[in-house]
Amino acid sequence: MATTDHSLREQLDSDGIVLAPGVADALEGVLAERAGADVLYVSGNAVSSSVHGGPDIGLTTMTEMVTRVGQIAGAVERPVIADADDGYGNALSVHRTIQEFERAGAAGVHIEDQDAPKKCGHFADKTLVSTAEMCGKIRAACDARTNDEFVVIARTDAVAISGLKNAIDRCRSYADAGADMVFIDAPETDAHLEEIGAELAAIPLVINVPYGGKTPLLPADRLEELGYDLMLFATTAQKAKLQVLERVYEHLLETGDERGLTDQLATWETRDAVTDLERWRDLEDRYA
């Protein structure tokens, strides 16, 4: 991964909430970076859909996720945060998971306290490991990193299972175990978001507010007022892609005519600019 102007920790220590758009592949990463993103986020949900066309229910392996993160990190200069699901096993598995993500170029990961098989945080029928087991995973994650700049985020899915109070209590324990940030997924009301911000004000906070999920769609400026430090847009781009591609494929198969789509398509020149063709041509002239 190329050297960034600011590390992930430096971005998070700056004033204001950090916005991290979700990217599922290298092209999305490049586009998000060109749009001005300072931090990129690789969602397990988005990668699940992209890799095997299935839902986020624990089907994606560590190897698949690490491979995709490496491809994205290798294509961009901004720090990349990765979804490491439940760490892909016990605390020993987490130890190796962190090493693999760090080698792949991730600047940080989040690990959740779900029991296997894990599910998207906004799905029903999740189960949790004990707070003690999750704290062991967090300690293993912190010990496994070789670079102190690597950020370990502890996520809890407790709200839907054992309530908001337990989610907050778990986050305090996870921070005590060494987590750099905490992330309560799928809070269900504005009041939930306010209480999290108030109760965990001393701990850096992550929030994900997905369209169609359980969490109210509050804007970044309001979430910043409530005390959140990092806002993930986990699958927003992929949902846009789904909508557009469905229409494109249907039109092509119904009409057999691409001309009706030209106002919706990037130009050849735009694609060449995004994929940095000119730089590769310069390298070809130099070496070949």
Residue 80 has pLDDT above 70, yes or no: yes
pLDDT tens by residue, 94-103: 999 999 999 9
Using one digit for the tens of pLDDT, what is the confidence trace for 207-219?
Answer: 999 888 889 999 9
Alpha-carbon distance of 21 to 37, in angstroms, equals 7
Whether residue 2 has pLDDT greater than 70: no
Domains of the chain with CATH codes: 8-237 (3.20.20.60), 242-287 (no CATH)
Q: Measured between alpha carbons, how far is 207 from 215 in angstroms, rounded to an integer?
A: 10
Q: In the predicted model, is pLDDT for residue 90 greater than 80?
A: yes
Greatest mean pLDDT range, 14-18, 115-119, 120-124: 14-18
Tell me how far the alpha carbon of residue 283 is from its chain's centroid: 33
Residue 3 pLDDT: 38
Is the confidence at residue 4, as pLDDT, over 90?
no
Count Cα atoms within 13 angstroms, Cβ side, for 251.
14
Instruction: Say if residues 42 and 23 touch (Cβ distance below 8 Å).
Output: yes
Q: What are the start-end ranges of the E strands in 137-228?
A: 151-156, 181-184, 205-208
Q: Which two tokens stand for residue 40?
A: 């990129």
With cut-offs at 50, 70 and 90, classify the pLDDT of residue 121: low
16-73 per-position pLDDT tens digit:
999 999 999 999 999 999 999 999 999 999 999 999 999 888 889 999 999 999 999 9
Q: Please tell me the chain's helix, strand, coil percentages from 3-state DSSP, rounded to the nearest 5.
A: 50, 15, 35
Contacts of 274 (CB under 8 A, 6+ apart): 27, 30, 31, 34, 266
pLDDT confidence bin for 117, thresholds 50/70/90: confident
For the stretch 159-203, pLDDT in tens is 999 999 999 999 999 999 999 999 999 999 999 999 999 999 999
The pTM is what?
Answer: 0.94
Tens digits of residue pLDDT in 230-274 = 999 999 999 999 999 999 999 999 999 999 999 999 999 999 999
